[in-house]
Amino acid sequence: MNISEGTVSVSRLVYLLKEVVEDNFVQVLVTGEIANFSAPSSGHYYFAVKDDQAQLRGVMFRSSNRLLKFTPENGMQVLCGGRVSLYPQRGELQLVVDRMEPLGVGSWQLAFEKLKTKLDAEGLFEVGRKRRLPSFPRTIGVVTSPTGAAIHDILNVLRRRGAGLHVLLSPVRVQGDGAADEIARAIADFNRHGQADVLIVGRGGGSPEDLWAFNEEVVARAVFASRIPVISAVGHEVDVTISDLVADLRAPTPSAAAELVVQGRQELERHVDHLVMRLSGQMQGRLSLLKERLDGLRRRLRSPVDDLRRQYRDLEQLRKRLFSAMEKTMQRAANRLGLAGSRLHALSPLATLDRGYAIVFSAKTSTIVRDARTLTPGDRVQIRFAKGSVEATVDEVDHGD
């Protein structure tokens, strides 16, 4: 037999083992104690998970461990979820962890995440299906313990804020065995009888274990099936329960839930107060404007005589200015007329006659005789002087040649 027959290389064998391991251990949950924990600058976590008889190397990459709410420590008992892989270079198995929880709280959280994923896939958390609270509810249904602080806080707020509101309490256990079933039945009963306009479901806080009834599937489905809007008020501002996610509205405390119930009434009151303030402001502004106008009219009515006197003085000044202008205009016209008359008189023939000259007219043509040659002996002429005239007969004509 040839020794080389049926042999494989180390790398071939290791990769065959790697394939078998990774195909069959895709998702595992491992409990154990953390040992040899290290967190180098790369951000990855390296450690071992061990029990009394064995240990397994583990790694949690930075993309996964940044979601942890705690830092693993040596000696810590944990629940690790992830896949098994084989590191070929050293031929070592390792657990590639993608989630980790301390044991105890971790088991609760794992159940929470499992149910949350399931209900989310079914659409129970969809925002689009959540309903608005009625603006003016008249009856409030409360599902909580009759002896806890929650009911007293709710009643105090509603008594102080919501005058006239009717409160119906469905007493239930809010923790322990059977609590979830009681809560679910109470929600269903309110819906069956149509007794309330809005429901407050909750308690006054507590540890994660105390709140667990509100993480049960039966409660989540009862809240989802409710035709009446539901406010989840578990009373723990940090931890979110499944009922918080399904409810139409989440309140951090029962008191806050009661405040939300009367919010519509308070908003209406604030809106009315705002309108009253606006109307009052507008009325004050209008009254101020009318008062100013009235004061102006009063001032004008108090001094009509002063106004008349002022107007009379203005009129008298205008009259004086008018007469002065008229006198100056007439004087200038008279001066111009006298000057024109003097010039006209200087050019008048009568002025020439005043200096001893005479004008000869032809008696036949009544025209001025300017040339003696136009006359013949025997012609009759009229001679006009500065004062008066005479008629004469031409005896002799001297042509003046």
The whole-chain average pLDDT of the chain stands at: 85
Let me know if residue 44 belongs to a domain.
Answer: yes
Token look-up 């209900």 returns 119
Is the pLDDT assigned to residue 383 strictly greater than 50?
yes
Beta-bridged to residue 143, according to DSSP, are 170, 201
Are both 65 and 144 inside the same structural domain? no
Q: Is the pLDDT of residue 4 over 60?
A: no
- Summarize pLDDT for 124-157 with one digit per residue, the tens: 999 999 998 888 888 999 999 999 888 888 888 8
Q: Is residue 199 part of a domain?
A: yes
* Per-residue pLDDT reduced to its tens digit, 322-373: 888 888 888 888 888 888 777 776 666 777 777 777 888 888 888 888 888 8
Number of residues that make up the chain: 401
Single residue among 261, 280, 313 that ends a domain in this structure? 261
- Where residue 107 falls among pLDDT bands split at 50, 70, 90? low
Q: Locate tokens 């016209």: which residue?
A: 333
Alpha-carbon distance of 130 to 231, in angstroms, equals 11
Rg, the chain, Cα only: 62
- pLDDT > 90: percent of the chain: 33
Residue 298 pLDDT greater than 80, yes or no? no
Short-list 137, 125, 119, CA closest to 190: 137
The confidence band for 301, taking pLDDT boundaries of 50, 70 and 90, is: low
Residues 239, 129: one domain? Answer: yes
Window from 266-270, 290-294, 319-323, 394-398 with minimum mean pLDDT: 266-270
Examine residue 94 and state whether it is found in any structural domain, yes or no. Answer: yes
Q: How confident is residue 62, by pLDDT bands cut at 50, 70 and 90?
A: very high
Residue range(s) defining the domain that contains residue 215: 123-261
Question: Can you give the CATH number for the domain in which 187 is found?
Answer: 3.40.50.2300
Same domain, 36 and 140: no
CA–CA dist 97, 99 (Å, integer): 6
Last residue of a domain, one of 232, 261, 290: 261
Which of 256-265, 296-305, 350-359 is modeled with the greatest confidence? 256-265
- With a cut of 80, say whether residue 387 has pLDDT above it: yes
149 and 223 both lie in a single domain: yes
Q: With cut-offs at 50, 70 and 90, classify the pLDDT of residue 3.
A: very low
Tell me: the pLDDT tens digits for 183-237?
999 999 999 998 899 999 999 878 777 888 999 999 999 999 999 999 999 876 6
Q: Are residues 132 and 81 in the same domain?
A: no
Kindly state whether residues 130 and 228 are assigned to the same domain. Answer: yes
Task: Count the domains in the chain.
Answer: 3
> Do 136 and 252 sit in the same domain of this protein?
yes
Is 53 in the same domain as 18? yes
CB 158 within 8 A of CB 258: yes
Dist CA 57 CA 63 (whole Å): 19
In this prediction, what percent of the chain has a pLDDT beyond 70? 88
Mean pLDDT of the 61-74 span = 85
Judge if 70 and 184 occupy the same domain. Answer: no
Residue 118 or residue 312, greater confidence: 118
- What pLDDT sits at residue 265? 59
Task: Say what the pLDDT of residue 159 is.
Answer: 83
Please name which of 1, 2, 18 lies closest in space to residue 10, comparing C-alpha atoms.
18
Same domain membership, residue 130 and residue 84: no
pLDDT at 104: 63
The contacts of residue 191 (CB under 8 Å, 6+ apart) are 225, 226, 227, 228
Q: Is residue 7 helix, strand or coil? A: coil
Answer yes or no: is pLDDT of 272 > 60: no
The three-state secondary structure class of 211 is coil
* Rounded distance between C-alpha atoms, residue 15 and residue 174, angstroms: 54
